[in-house]
């Protein structure tokens, strides 16, 4: 069975996803459902594998399935500027999330350090801070 003649199971295995993931993408319209051929078994080709891999890579970069659907539509034509704008928007969101995480990290480090300076019987500096008492 070659890449031109994959069952849904082989496609899922090659793309390193679950069969239900393939079906989910089909229900969402992200992946076309091939017609049933002889023997009532759907067959998938290399373009289907390429598309599933595209979806998974885009998800790893933080794109939602809705955004991926838009990217797939853009990939059908010459829309590099619009695709770049979407990627820049996603990068800004990632940078904002990183800044939030770094602020959380700094706050937690400060709270953890405060634990060592608390006096016995005076409560917990972390709990006090989270309670708004610090």
- The string of pLDDT tens digits covering residues 76-106 is 766 778 888 888 999 999 999 999 999 999 9
Residues with Cβ within 8 Å of 37's Cβ and at least 6 positions away in sequence, in order, are 43
> What pTM was estimated for this model as a whole?
0.68
In the predicted model, what is the mean pLDDT of residues 24-34?
Answer: 94
Give the angle 6-10-14 at the CA atoms, nearest 5°: 110
Q: Which tens digit of pLDDT belongs to each residue from 41-84?
A: 889 999 999 999 999 999 999 899 999 998 888 877 667 788 88
- For residue 118, is pLDDT > 60? no
């Amino acid at each position: 069975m070659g890449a031109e003649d994959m069952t849904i199971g082989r496609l899922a295995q090659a793309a390193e996803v679950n069969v239900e993931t393939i079906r989910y993408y089909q229900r969402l319209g992200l992946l076309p459902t091939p017609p049933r051929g002889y023997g009532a078994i759907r067959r998938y080709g290399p373009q289907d594998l390429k598309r599933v891999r595209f979806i998974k890579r885009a998800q790893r970069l933080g794109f939602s399935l809705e955004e991926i659907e838009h990217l797939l539509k853009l990939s059908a034509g010459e829309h590099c500027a619009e695709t770049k704008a979407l990627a820049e928007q996603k990068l800004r969101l990632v940078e904002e999330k990183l800044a939030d995480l770094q602020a959380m990290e700094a706050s937690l480090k400060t709270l953890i350090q405060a634990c060592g300076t608390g006096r016995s019987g005076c409560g917990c500096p972390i709990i006090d801070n989270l309670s708004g008492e610090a």
